[in-house]
Amino acid sequence: MSEASGQRRPSLRRRLLFILLLPMLLLLVIDAVITYGVALNYSNRVHDADLANDVRTLAQMFRSGEVSSDLPQEARFLIEYEPDGHNYYNVRSSKRGLLGGNGDFEQPPPPAADASPELFYSRLAGRPLRGAALSLRSPTDPSDVLTVTIAETLRDRQHRARQILLLAIPLQTFLILSVLSLVWLGVTRGLRILHPLTRRLAMREHELEPITGADVPVEILPLTRTIDGLFERLRTVLSLQERFIADAAHQLRTPLAGLRLHVDRARGSSDPAVVRDALEHIEQLTERTARTSTQLLALTRAQSPWKERSTTGDVDLAKLVPRAVEMRIPEALRAGIDLGYQGPDHPAVIHGDAAALQELLDNLIDNILRYAGEGARATVSVLPLPDQGVLLQVEDSGPGVPPEALERLGERFFRVAGTQASGTGLGLAIVQQIAQQHDARLGFGAAVGGGLRIGLQFPSASKS
């Protein structure tokens, strides 16, 4: 989509920043929760220490004088004063019960006399409290144990923790923004490593050589190797195109020149016999040109690496081959050739492209009809090989091929010297290309009693 459409192009820098931003925001939230927990724990420890000191101070007042329900003004100020909350206290005697206080809150059993203060949580009118209790022996009656308890609300503790959190969040936010800025700067500078590759590509005109070099970063190697693979396929396609153009020019030049010659003959002569002869030659040359063009296209298609994977599947040669032979029997009868099929009654399945295999069979049978000669016998057979695949074999009783020419069968435009039958020399080249696509082994040899034998061994469907 163009820039004018209003949509921004994707940016690697923005994408990296957004990818990092969400986790960092999540980390900020987690860090805030942890910071608040740590601050609250610290505030609790400080307040617990103050609470224990307060209860010790109050107990010391009782040790130094007579115990009564009325506390000195200084003691009341010490206990009840809290700017952001409220403190409560009570004094209990093991013999006389509650001696005084300003709050009747729940508290655990009293600690042992003269032991360290015990801290506990309690509630008063639905409000949570934190308390400290200390037991001591009465100065006037050693058999009596006094329990001094002081409790305070949690508001001041939470307020102090929130203050610490509010101080920490701006600093943490500033650090995260600084990290994102450094990441942005680092990515911007880091992407400069791509500039040599960009310049190298910009200087190219029509070259399709690989772009992966020593200066390509490891992170984009998969991309450059994919591009190299695309270049390789493009080179193959362009090579096929150039070869097709050269082959077409080479193979079609002669028949097209012949067509023009015989057209001129027909135009320049009033003799019906000459015109008829010219038209017959035109018909033959037209058929030759059409067949050459068809086979050139078939060979190019067979050589092309761009295959539709969806066209491949399991193909039963025990069904495909007899149908292909049956379709060519009328031509074989006109050529005076006894064409037959031999194969198993059970399936002979391979993995491949049914259309390409049909093309292969058409060229094998066409090779028989053109070169076996009148009166020859030809058999197309399918033979399953246990654990080795399927053997497709074509055998005829024709004149055969000299041993020195067997190795060249399958070359483009190669024709055995002395052959009188018309042909393009492309049929077996097409067969060879399709065989390679199916991982089949192609072999040529002499048939028993003379003639030519062509064998293709396909791997079984389970091994493909």
d(CA 207, CA 222): 20
Instruction: Say what the pLDDT of residue 240 is.
Output: 62
Q: Considering just the CA atoms, what is the radius of gyration of the chain in Å?
A: 50
Instruction: Say what the pLDDT of residue 42 is.
Output: 92
- CB 3, CB 162: distance < 8 Å: no
- CB 422, CB 410: distance < 8 Å: no
Mean pLDDT by runs of 10 across the 464 residues of the chain is 57 78 87 91 91 85 61 59 64 83 81 88 87 86 86 88 89 86 81 77 74 75 82 74 63 71 81 82 74 66 55 86 90 89 88 86 85 86 86 86 78 62 70 85 81 87 63
Please list the residues that pair with 391 across neighbouring strands. 383, 457
Question: 273 is written with which tokens?
Answer: 């016999």
354-371 vs 317-335: helix crossing angle, rounded to 10:
30
Judged by DSSP in three states, 243 sits in: helix
Would the pTM count as exceeding 0.85? no
Instruction: Say what the pLDDT of residue 310 is.
Output: 45
Instruction: Say what the pLDDT of residue 41 is.
Output: 93
Cα pseudo-dihedral 346, 348, 351, 354, rounded to 10? -90
Question: In the chain, what are the domains?
Answer: 14-162 (3.30.450), 218-303 (1.10.287.130), 309-463 (3.30.565.10)
Q: Residue 134 to residues 15, 43, 65, 68, 200: CA-CA distances in angstroms?
A: 62, 22, 17, 17, 84
- CB 148, CB 133: distance < 8 Å: yes
Nearest Cα to 151, choosing from 223, 79, 92? 79
Instruction: Say what the pLDDT of residue 113 is.
Output: 83
